[in-house]
Amino acid sequence: MTTETSKLRGGENLSLKRKNKNLLYKIFPISQWLSEYKKEDLVGDLLAGLIVTIMLVPQSMAYAMLAGLPPQVGLYASILPLIIYAIFGSSRVLAVGPVAMVSLLTLSGVGAIAQAGTAEFIALALILALMTGVIQLFMGIARLGFLVNFLSHPVLVGFTSAAALVIGFSQLKHIFGIQVARAEHPYQLFINIINNISATHLITLSIGIGSILILTYFKKFLKRNLKSLKFSDVISETLSKTGALVVVFVSTILVWSFGLDSVSGVKIVGEIPAGLPPITIPSIEATQIAALFPIAMIISLVGFMESISIATTLASKRRQKIDANQELIALGTANIGASVTGGYPVTGGLSRSVVNFSAGANTNLASIITAVLIALTVLLFTPLFYYLPRATLAAIVIVAVASLFDFKSFRHIWAYSKTDALALLTTFFGVLIFNIEIGIGIGIATALLLHLYRTSKPHVAVVGRVGDTEHFRNVLRHEVKTCPETCALRIDESLYFANTKELERTLLSAVADEPKLKNIVLICSAVNFIDASALDTLERVVEELNSTGVNVYLAEVKGPVMDRLEKIGFVENFGKENIFLSTHQAIEFLGCKKG
Amino acid sequence: MTTETSKLRGGENLSLKRKNKNLLYKIFPISQWLSEYKKEDLVGDLLAGLIVTIMLVPQSMAYAMLAGLPPQVGLYASILPLIIYAIFGSSRVLAVGPVAMVSLLTLSGVGAIAQAGTAEFIALALILALMTGVIQLFMGIARLGFLVNFLSHPVLVGFTSAAALVIGFSQLKHIFGIQVARAEHPYQLFINIINNISATHLITLSIGIGSILILTYFKKFLKRNLKSLKFSDVISETLSKTGALVVVFVSTILVWSFGLDSVSGVKIVGEIPAGLPPITIPSIEATQIAALFPIAMIISLVGFMESISIATTLASKRRQKIDANQELIALGTANIGASVTGGYPVTGGLSRSVVNFSAGANTNLASIITAVLIALTVLLFTPLFYYLPRATLAAIVIVAVASLFDFKSFRHIWAYSKTDALALLTTFFGVLIFNIEIGIGIGIATALLLHLYRTSKPHVAVVGRVGDTEHFRNVLRHEVKTCPETCALRIDESLYFANTKELERTLLSAVADEPKLKNIVLICSAVNFIDASALDTLERVVEELNSTGVNVYLAEVKGPVMDRLEKIGFVENFGKENIFLSTHQAIEFLGCKKG
């Protein structure tokens, strides 16, 4: 072995080591932030962990109730999943746990095959968490994160706004203290509530509305008020996040001291079993998998979407990176963790992650601290929630989802593009009229159809020479020179199956309209790819045009497109001499001189 | 009233008249070609009408048999639909009638709910024609012709090739003279044939194979042989189209003279009722509509696709135009015509249209002549087909569809693009393994998914200045100059929901990778539109980047894109001074001087 190769070997070893380390960091991001952990990160992580716990304890119980599950299931879903995410997640500040949207989806999916509150319902929620976890894990490993691209912004806004309404409706019965029959379609739920409104339980309603008012005050005004009273930013910020804790505390004390549960019949949470979550191995039947699959798929995508959006936004603020497929792996594993510890589907939550970030979380240690504090709560403090009124939990849900109803985005989208607004509206009404799965399905299909429709009629401009320059512009927008025997067409779209028919129509009618026409120059500066359908059409149309005595030329074909056309032999058939680098060269060659 | 306005009125009247005339021509194209009809057109129309009739009589019976219908249904479908198309169709040479593909689809769709050959089956075929007609008519009026864009070239090649195999399989039982049970999935049919092959009826097989050999000789070699014997082009062409007539004649004579039907058990066509088609008003139930809807939809689209392709190709050869939505209206009305005269779904046929064209058809009078000749056949000549062996009709079908198995296109597509080839293969195997509807569905979904995948990762190039010019090119492909504080990115794709995530990822990781970076210039020369999802992402990312101290600039934004960005207020927020006409101006402004 010569010195040179052994040197190379040494270099290889070194780069191999670095590669291994990078791989370790990629698969277990915890290994990176733990090895780089600095003492000064600790204060932020501790404070953030504490504040998120204060929010999460009441929220997790409230969301579990929204999902049709006992409150402890929400708490269980806030322990192991957080620790697992801290190990695998590529975001350092994402707060994982129960969220409103996924809870609603759980209710909608499991509620279709079992009665909410029953043991079967709880068992199915575990299975759903397992399926969601497996799907996300698989998508992450198979690098299928791009599937989330199907959910366009208008579809998401329509879905989220409709879901906020549905969630709001579903909690009204707790606020009014009435019984409402389960409805198959969301709009029926609204009708059912109206029909039963006369049975309103006034004390429950007072607790509910009081809670909503307090929570709204904390959310909207407290921070400003405290700041104007010269409190420090950190204290104002922290105190304004304790709204849920305060209403829980006050309403529990009220019910306990006046015996409102036994005397007046206010519905309370009741006994929550103490102790750490049970280890649960879901037993699954094939029919259950088939029935839950659509909703598991939607939770996987919608949950991932919510999570990755907030993770990306927060990471960018500190110039950190998020790996979409690693996020899927982390969320998938977290969901599997939820399913084996008595929980239900989880994902990264919007508001708690923002709180975590702004409370100063530097690493996922904050999440681990939250998980430990929730575990302590489950072990020691569950008796404190015995007298907690359900109306208070409903109020927490309602205030949390109110901001999801996004009328501003709707107005913005409506002003920008009527087709995008159409996709939004079909999703919105699809969810309200049918159900979530069908609504999202209709929305995705509409968005795809409209996209195909939009690109099926590409913008094609006839261009001419601007003055004596080498620039060519649209004859309709600019004062330009053209010549009668030659038509220069700029195609402003990639050519693929949805627009090949239109391309053919455009070319053939240009020829049919202009009997003198002898040359067509296709300017391909905006053609980013040509698929097999378009290639076939192009070959056929060129042949047809040639047979009627019209010559076709190409100009400004992009590098990658040209590479493929050369490989397949199109260039050779077409004639290399008929392809020009610039429009100017083509027009010069065809004898349409300047001036 | 002043003279000027009355002059204007006169002008208006004139242009109104012209408009009315154009509208008349558009809705009833027959009014145009009839009013322009010249004596010298007549010879071509007569000859073409005759030759197409010679092909159509045996073909229409053979295709009806393929569809599981009695032979006269094929003949009935070749009278009124042709006349209706002649009135409404925008092509002057399209030959409408029964075709192999639509016959197979009819068998597949109706066969799933009724036994082939029964009265119920025939009634359902009529209803299917009516539904197809109504769907096509509706699509034409609602201008939904663009829906056909869903059928990409690879999906069509995969579908057509698989359908050719399925059609071939389905006829083998007639060639071998065996009984084969109906199979739910096409591949099972093949297995069933193999299992029954030992029961082959040798005389039937001889007739079948003899017919195939004669037909192949006529199709492939006769024209050349006649030409080399110094026959004129017209005679060679005409005689080479009489293959089907010859095998029908020869095999009928053979069976009749040797009594092969009664003595040896060769299956024959038997009695065909004489007389013009009966007027039929289909009586329809809602369950039938629901059951037939998917296949009616597929026939509408596939039939239209086959028809419009050949119509467009032939029209271009004479610099004529085809109006896609008018074609839908014409085919829809023709199908409704088929359903009320005892026929079944029809469309414009590939091979007969080519024959019609090359035999010299100048106008749709050729089709009307064909229709009259077929009506005469039904009135007078049906007894002649009594002894016609079914094996001969099967041979006609097999030879007709053999060329639909398109291995050449597959090789071409495979060489050009593996993703397009994947869409082809999933369609091909989907049709063979499941059935036609599922196969096409899988194919369309795959093509859409792959398209989204392709555009979800747009080509983004970091560009730099070429020498001292004002040109900027990809740093990876060219020797260019860049500066460390400014990154110029050219985005080679329209921005829409499928690629907003990738856009965000690209921008944020450019910033995360390069701590010195202060300016990002987005070059939008290939961005043909920005949808609401992309606008939302752009607004958000620009804000995020600004908050980390990175400025974003735009260059070379296209006119239509800029118009919308201005309307929605993006330009105002973003700062008009941050948008440059050319990359050169942006880079100059940011202080990266030439040289």
Q: Can you tell me the ipTM of this complex?
A: 0.76
Cα separation, A3 vs A10, in Å, equals 10
pLDDT band at residue A286 using 50, 70 and 90 as cut-offs: confident
Average of per-residue pLDDT across A368-377: 96
HSE of B236 in the Cβ direction (CA atoms, 13 Å)?
Answer: 14
| Token representation of residue A358 | 């702004």
Cα separation, B166 vs B106, in Å, equals 13
Closest listed residue to residue B245, CA positions, set B377, B406, B121: B377
Contact, A528 vs B459, CB < 8 A? yes
Answer whether residue A145 shows pLDDT above 90: no
In terms of CA atoms, which chain A residue is nearest residue B536? A153
In terms of CA atoms, which chain B residue is nearest residue A157? B533
CA–CA distance from A194 to each of A188, A190, A207, A401, A557 (Å)?
10, 6, 20, 21, 64
Closest listed residue to residue B53, CA positions, set B359, B330, B307, B283: B359
Answer whether residue B593 shows pLDDT above 80: no
Give residue A424's pLDDT: 93
A497·B447 Cβ contact <8 A: yes
B544·A317 Cβ contact <8 A: yes
Cα separation, A352 vs A380, in Å, equals 24
Cα separation, B357 vs B45, in Å, equals 9
pLDDT band at residue A502 using 50, 70 and 90 as cut-offs: confident
| Token representation of residue A508 | 């053939």
Give residue A505's pLDDT: 84
Q: Tell me which residue in A492, A501, A512 faces B321 most closely, judged by beta carbons.
A: A512
Answer whether residue A6 shows pLDDT above 60: no
Interface mutation vs chain B, best among A327, A412, A517, A528, most B CBs within 10 Å: A528
Answer whether residue A189 shows pLDDT above 90: no
Spell out which residues of chain A touch residue B512, defining contact as CB-CB under 8 Å. Answer: 319-321
Give residue B594's pLDDT: 46
B 533-552 residues with CB < 8 A to A: 533, 535-537, 540-541, 544-545, 547-548
Architecture of the structural domain at A460-589: 2-Layer Sandwich (3.30)
Identify the bridge partners of residue B389 per DSSP, sorted by sequence position.
Answer: B268
What tens digit of pLDDT does each residue of B290-318 get? 899 989 999 999 899 889 888 888 887 78
B 548-587 residues with CB < 8 A to A: 548, 558-560, 564, 567-568
In terms of CA atoms, which chain B residue is nearest residue A511? B319
pLDDT band at residue A335 using 50, 70 and 90 as cut-offs: very high
How far apart are the CA of A145 and the nearest CA of chain B, in angstroms? 10
* Max mean pLDDT range (A83-97, A349-363, B464-478): A83-97
Spell out which residues of chain B touch residue A155, defining contact as CB-CB under 8 Å. Answer: 497
Residue B303's identity, in one-letter code, is: G
| Residue B149 contacts A, CB cutoff 8 Å | yes
Contact, A120 vs A114, CB < 8 A? yes
| Residue B526 contacts A, CB cutoff 8 Å | yes
Rounded to the nearest integer, the mean pLDDT of chain A is: 88
Average of per-residue pLDDT across A167-175: 89
| Residue A252 contacts B, CB cutoff 8 Å | no
B497·A149 Cβ contact <8 A: yes
Length of chain A: 595
Domain ranges of chain B: 38-448, 460-589
| Residue B461 contacts A, CB cutoff 8 Å | no
Identify the bridge partners of residue A389 per DSSP, sorted by sequence position.
Answer: A268
Give residue B483's pLDDT: 83
B504·A312 Cβ contact <8 A: yes
pTM: predicted TM-score of the whole model, two decimal places: 0.74
| Residue A475 contacts B, CB cutoff 8 Å | no
Spell out which residues of chain B touch residue A327, defining contact as CB-CB under 8 Å. Answer: none
What string of DSSP letters covers B329-394?
A: HHHHHHHHHHHHTT----EE-HHHHHHHHHTT--STHHHHHHHHHHHHHHHHTGGGGTT-BHHHHH
Q: Is A34 helix (H, G, I), strand (E, B) or coil?
A: helix
A536·B496 Cβ contact <8 A: no
Q: Tell me which residue in B149, B515, B536 faces A498 most closely, judged by beta carbons.
A: B149
What string of DSSP letters covers A79-132?
A: THHHHHHHHH-S-SS--EE--HHHHHHHHHHHHTTS-TTSHHHHHHHHHHHHHH
pLDDT band at residue A14 using 50, 70 and 90 as cut-offs: low
Closest listed residue to residue A472, CA positions, set A485, A458, A486: A486
Q: Tell me which residue in A149, A317, A324 faces B498 most closely, judged by beta carbons.
A: A149
CA–CA distance from A29 to each of A14, A330, A356, A593, B511 (Å)?
21, 10, 19, 63, 20
| Residue B483 contacts A, CB cutoff 8 Å | no
Give residue B247's pLDDT: 93
Phi, psi of A485 (to 5 degrees): -85, -15
Give residue A16's pLDDT: 67
A 291-330 residues with CB < 8 A to B: 308, 312-313, 315-317, 319-321, 324
Spell out which residues of chain B touch residue A512, defining contact as CB-CB under 8 Å. Answer: 319-321
Spell out which residues of chain B touch residue A477, defining contact as CB-CB under 8 Å. Answer: 559
Give residue B103's pLDDT: 94
Answer whether residue A2 shows pLDDT above 60: no
A533·B154 Cβ contact <8 A: yes
Average of per-residue pLDDT across B516-531: 89
Answer whether residue B9 shows pLDDT above 60: no
Cα separation, A57 vs A75, in Å, equals 7
What string of DSSP letters covers A440-493?
A: HHHHHHHHHHHHHHHHHS--EEEEEE-TTSS-EEETTTS--B-BTTEEEEEE-S
- Cβ contacts from A onto B, under 8 A: 198
Query: For a pLDDT cut of 90, what percent of chain A falls above it?
Result: 40
Spell out which residues of chain A touch residue B536, defining contact as CB-CB under 8 Å. Answer: 153, 409
Average of per-residue pLDDT across A284-311: 90
- List all residues 6 or more positions away from A196 whose beta carbon is below 8 Å from its beta carbon: A173, A176, A178, A179, A180
- List all residues 6 or more positions away from B497 whose beta carbon is below 8 Å from its beta carbon: A149, A150, A151, A152, A153, A155, A447, A451, B531, B533, B534
What tens digit of pLDDT does each residue of A526-536 get? 888 899 889 98
Answer whether residue B4 shows pLDDT above 50: no
Give residue B152's pLDDT: 85
What tens digit of pLDDT does each residue of B398-435 get? 998 888 888 888 998 999 988 899 999 999 999 999 88
Give residue B12's pLDDT: 55
Spell out which residues of chain A touch residue B450, defining contact as CB-CB under 8 Å. Answer: none
Q: Tell me which residue in B151, B508, B535 faces A316 most closely, judged by beta carbons.
A: B508
What tens digit of pLDDT does each residue of B349-380 get? 888 998 899 888 999 999 999 999 999 999 99
CA–CA distance from A516 to each of A109, A549, B321 (Å)?
65, 10, 16
Buried residues in A261-275 as b, exposed as e (16+ CB within 10 A): beeeebbbbeebeee
| Token representation of residue A524 | 């391909």
What tens digit of pLDDT does each residue of B140-177 get? 999 887 777 777 889 888 988 998 898 888 889 999 99
Identify the bridge partners of residue A486 per DSSP, sorted by sequence position.
Answer: A483, A519
Cα separation, A189 vs A178, in Å, equals 13
CB atoms inside a 10 Å sphere around CB A451: 25
Contact, B207 vs B392, CB < 8 A? yes
Give residue A15's pLDDT: 66
| Residue A415 contacts B, CB cutoff 8 Å | yes
Give residue B365's pLDDT: 95
Rounded to the nearest integer, the mean pLDDT of chain B is: 88
How far apart are the CA of B300 and the nearest CA of chain A, in angstroms? 17
Cα separation, B33 vs A209, in Å, equals 77
Average of per-residue pLDDT across A530-551: 89
What string of DSSP letters covers B62-111?
A: HHHHHTTS-HHHHHHTTTHHHHHHHHH-S-SS--EE--HHHHHHHHHHHH
Pick from A223-237, A293-307, B80-94, B467-481: least confident: B467-481
Pick from A424-428, B206-210, B214-218, B495-499: least confident: B495-499
Answer whether residue B438 shows pLDDT above 90: no
Answer whether residue A504 shows pLDDT above 90: no
Average of per-residue pLDDT across B240-265: 90
Cα separation, B259 vs B266, in Å, equals 9
Answer whether residue A250 shows pLDDT above 90: yes
Give residue A7's pLDDT: 44
Contact, A121 vs A109, CB < 8 A? no
